[in-house]
Structure 1
Amino acid sequence: MLAEEVDRIAAETGFAGVVSVDRRAEVEFARAYGCAHRGYQVANTLDTRFAIASGTKGLTALAVMSLVVDGVLELDTTARSVLGSDLPLIDDAVTVEHLLGHRSGIGEFYAEEDLDGAELPYTLPVGPHELVNTEDYVEVLDGHPQQFAPDTGFSYCNGGYVVLALITERVTGTPFHTLVRERVCAPAEMTSTEFLRTDEPGPRTAVGYIGERTNVFHLPVRGNGDGGVYSTTSDFTAFWPALFEGAIVPIDRVATMTRSRSEYDEKLHYGLGFWLPVGTGNVMLEGYDAGVSFRSTHQPESGLTYTVVANDSEGAWPITRRLSELLDHSSGSGSGGR
């Protein structure tokens, strides 16, 4: 039933990507579709690496929380205490916890509400090649006024997660990309997950597409705290059990991160780095950007995980909607990307 449904939707929509369903790290269904590179007709395979856009935020949040566990940061550490005179428009009361929960109210440098399917605009404020390392973002993060007082509302904010990456670098002296690799990917055995450059994609890496063109001019040449890591479905098969077994941060900290803090809408709540579909008991990571669509959903109670990743902006959503109907405790918990 499930395989037939996924095959049907993939054929009807021209899906290019990978779909995986596993239970307690044992794969029950995994299949690749379409091309990783259309020009050379390179097929996607089960070990193809895809950009996962904002799915990265969960990894960023865990890197931050690991520093909290080690006493390097506190959830109530203020951004100002680390940033000094940089980014002066960020309210002095904004804390690490506010940034993790999208409750900081800071201004946004990359507003996702401007994204519109196949006609995604060229939205970066500088050339993609100028955004390589975390400190490169300071200029583009600046100049955006505070939108509301800290902890008085919820507003999904990419900039807040780049600020978190900046904070981690400054308090540790270690590059953010290295922190994610060492503190999250290594203990979770996510061996294929890496912040790749779009101009150096390397082997078994999918190119993202917007219509017939690639997304190379739409995204930073290398991702950061808000998004842009590359991964595989098998790495998320490994990630979720590792997370809930306490391999990345202690289990009590996982509970803190996966507790509802805010309502995004009637179907989705948000914790610290993780989406929480209402009424399902599920925990979810999701990414949507130019040439990227990704969702990985985990049911801690049953150990069931389903992951869908595609190398275009809309490809993942028809299949994720159907998997939600078939597999969630209550159907229709998600309607598409943000």
Structure 2
Amino acid sequence: MDLLSLRYFQTVAKLENMTRAAEILQISQPAISKMIKNLEGELNVKLFDRTGKYIRLNEYGKRFLVKVDSALQTLEEGKTELLDLSERPTGTVVIFIQAGSYLLPDMITLFRQKYPEAQFKLLQQDQEISRYPAFDLCISSTPLKIPGTASTPVLTEEILLAVPNEHRLATRKSVRLIELAEDGFISLKIGKQLRETTDSLCHAAGFAPRIIYECDEPSMVRSLVRSGLGVSFIPAVTWGGSQGSSVVLLPIEEPISTRTIEISWYTNRYMTNVAKKFKAFVEDYYKQLKEDKIKKEPINPKA
């Protein structure tokens, strides 16, 4: 039993199709069929049930696949760990981005100025998924909790109300959310973390938001508000601050409207040197954002 046989078995087991597996592995179908038979002979059990030209992983095969996946992942992590011993942060950081996507390009650009060999793979999925993807780091907002992960908060930001500059409340210094109960809201689509947070804020204020536009991206939300088509919630820091002269950002007096951004990682997976450095960089980046925001805030004199 060698590593090549295990990798071939892993591919066939996940596809349950010899022809497709042979195409992906770039070997002939008879060769891969022979390898599977040799492996079954070595293990003294059948790993697949065969019906004509179709194959299905049986109970023996399913149990063996779990062990093969674990063994190959451990070997891959061992290879990565040895490369990390050089203390040179190289390789790919897989980031599952659920919040703060507006800031991520800037973070990656600044990080790669210091570590130009670092590469990034970005994953974006809705919250309504049955299975979370494999990642090195996840940037999200509470209360998302992915099983098997640890997390640390990096920023708590105010959620503001964005209204067109001709809106009836545009001249106010702040608003109570209930005052917007009859307004049309522009929002991210269901499944986005911010949508869940802002829907909860509206319910806490005593009403269900009347959504007139649903968007995939924050940039579209901002554009529709600038066009005077409705009102929206805007995170004060991670959505980029000022939205232009045609939009007024209003603090919400009631209910308290904030969200906390956090960075998470799997506790049972090896974290590469480059991922560790990027994690520390993200924490420092958000810390600097908080300090810059405090410096810009007006000082209220004591009475």
Q: Same fold (TM over 0.5)?
A: no
More helix by share: 2
TM-score, normalisation: structure 1: 0.25
More strand by share: 2
TM-score, normalisation: structure 2: 0.26
